[in-house]
Structure 1
Amino acid sequence: MSATLLAEQALNGLQFGLMLFLLAAGLTLVFGIMDMINLAHGSLYMVGAYLTAAATQASGSFLLGLGAGIVGTALFGVALELTVLRRLYQRDHLSQVLGTFAILLMCNEAVRMLWGPQPLMLNLPAPVAGPVELWPGFSYPVYRLVIIAAGLLVALGLYLVITRTRLGMQVRAGAHHREMAMAMGANVQRLFTGVLAAGAALCALAGGLLGPLLAVQVGMGESILILAFVVVVIGGIGSVRGALVGALLVGVVDTVGRSFVPWALGGLLGPEAASGAGPALASILIYLLMAAVLFWKPQGLFPARG
C-alpha cells in the first residue's frame, strides 16, 4: 500500500468521522440530557438531505438549498419534539425505542410519498467539483476538503458555545445532573426543545453535505444511525468532546480498515479469499474498537456523568 493511498484514505476517514460527529453530537446530548433513546435521529439526517436536494433543484444554488434544508429540518425537529417526543420523556426506554422507531418508519413513508422511491440527484457545486494538488503527486477532491473544513468549524463552534456561554453551562449541567439543573432554575423544557432543534440542524448539515457523495434515498438514515450510536457509546453519553473523539476514531478506523484489511489479507490468503473475507472483517473493526474501549472504560472515553 502506497503512502499516497494511505494519506487519501486517512483524509476520507477524517471527513467521514467529522460527518459522524455532526450526527452524534445531537444524539449524545439528547441521550445525556433527556435520557431518551431517539431512533428518529436518523430520519432527521434523511429529511435534511431530501430538503437540501429539493431546495437546490428548485433554486439552482447549493448554498441556498443547504440553508433551506438546515432551517426546514430544525423546524421539523422542533415540531416533532413539541407534538410527540415530549410525551416520551418520562416513559421507559422500551417505549421510547418503539415510539421513535414508529416515527422513523412514518418519515420513510412520508418521504417516499413526497419524492417517490427513486433517489434524488444532488450534484457537486461547480466551484468545488474538481481536485486540488496538496503536494506533488497527490491530488484530493476539493469538495471533501470543504466538508472537512465545515466539520472542524462546527466542532469549534460547538466547543465555544458549550464551554463559553450560559446556554452551554446549562447544557453541561443537564448532561451531568439533570435533576440538579432543574433545581437550580434551568428551563428544562426550553432546553430540551433547543437541543432537539440544534441536533436536527446538525443532522441536516451532515445529510446536505454528504448528499452529493452518497445517494439521497429513502432509509438512508438507518445505517448511519447505528454508527452514530457506536460513536456515542465510545465517546461517553452526554459528552460532545467524547462524540468528536469517538467519531474521528470510528471514521478513520472504518475507512482505513476497508482499504488496508483486504490488501493485507490478499497477501496472506490470496485475492479470492481476500475479496470475500476482507470487507466482512473490515466492517467489524469499529465494533472491535467499541468492545476494546468499553473493556477499559465502561462509561466511554469522556463520560459527562463520570
Structure 2
Amino acid sequence: MPVNVLFSARPALWSIYEPLLTKGLTEAGLDFRLSTECEPDQVDYVVYAPNGGLLDFIPFTRLKAVLSLWAGVEKIAGNETLTVPLARMVDHGLTQGMTEWVVGHVLRYHLGMDRHITVQDGIWAPDPPPLATGRQVCILGLGELGEAAARALAALNFDVTGWSRTAKDIPGITCLHGPDGLGTALSQAEIVVLLLPDTPATENILNVETLAMLPKGACIINPGRGPLIDDDALLAALNSGQVGHATLDVFRVEPLAADHPYWAHPNVTVTPHIASETRPETAAQVICENIRRGEEGKPFLHLVDRSLGY
C-alpha cells in the first residue's frame, strides 16, 4: 500500500515543493502518493504550514506524523486535536541563512558601520573598535539556530555567552541558564541576539526589568520572534539611552504598521522578516528523511515537546 502524503500549506508553494518532495521520496525508495487533496482517513503524513488552513486533525485516523515546514510551531503546538508526533523544521539552509544575518549585524554594531555610513561631516576622528575578543555578545536561545550563531561568532573570537531555559554545554561558549543565569548574561552583554521560541515562558523576556540589567547603550538584535520583546519597554529604553540601538526583523503583527513608532525612531533598524527563510530545496530533504524514518520505524527528527511548545 502506498504511503499517502498530504501537502497542506499555502497553495502557491505546491508547484515549488511537489517536484522536490517527489524526487526525495523516490530516492528514498518509497511507494507513495503525494497530493494536496486526500481523504483524511487515508493520510499517513501531513506536510504542514499554518497558512494551509488545516486545523482539525480528528478525522486523520491513520496519521503517523505532522511535519512542519516552519521552524516556529507556536500556531500548532497547542492544537488539542493533534495527538500524533509533530516535527518542526530544522533546515540547514535556514540555519546558515540565520547565522549569516546574525553575524552580519553583530559585525555592523561591533565595527560601528552605521556611524561611518551615515555621518560624513568632514571631521577626521579615528575611533577604531576593540578587537572581537573585547566585545561581549549574548545569545538568548541555544537551540539549533542559537547554537549555530554562537559558534560562528566564537569562531571570530567574540566573547560569547549563551543563555537557555535549561542547561546546555557548548565548547567555546559560556552557557548560562535559568532566571539567575539570565541576569548574569544580560549584565555583561554589549550586543544581545534573541533566538528563542515564542512560548508563554519567553514572551516579553526583554521587558522593563531585564532591559535595565543591560550595560547602558547595549544593542539588541531580534531575528527570533516578535513577542520576545515588550515594545513599550524597548522604546522607553531607546529614548533614555539605556539601549543604544535595536535591529528588529520580527514583530507581533506583520507587516509592521506604517505608523508604528519603530519606523521613525532614529535608533531602530527595521528589516522585513528577512533574517532567514526556509529553503525549499533543503526543507524538502528534511521532510523526506522524516517520512523515510517513519516508514522504517525509526525515531522522527526534530520532534516538538508539546509541554514546552517547541
Task: Provide TM-score, normalisation by structure 2.
Answer: 0.25
Q: RCO greater where, 1 or 2, for CA within 8 Å and sep 6 or more?
A: 1
Greater helix content: 1
Who wins on radius of gyration, i.e. which is larger?
A: 2
Task: Provide TM-score, normalisation by structure 1.
Answer: 0.26
Greater strand content: 2
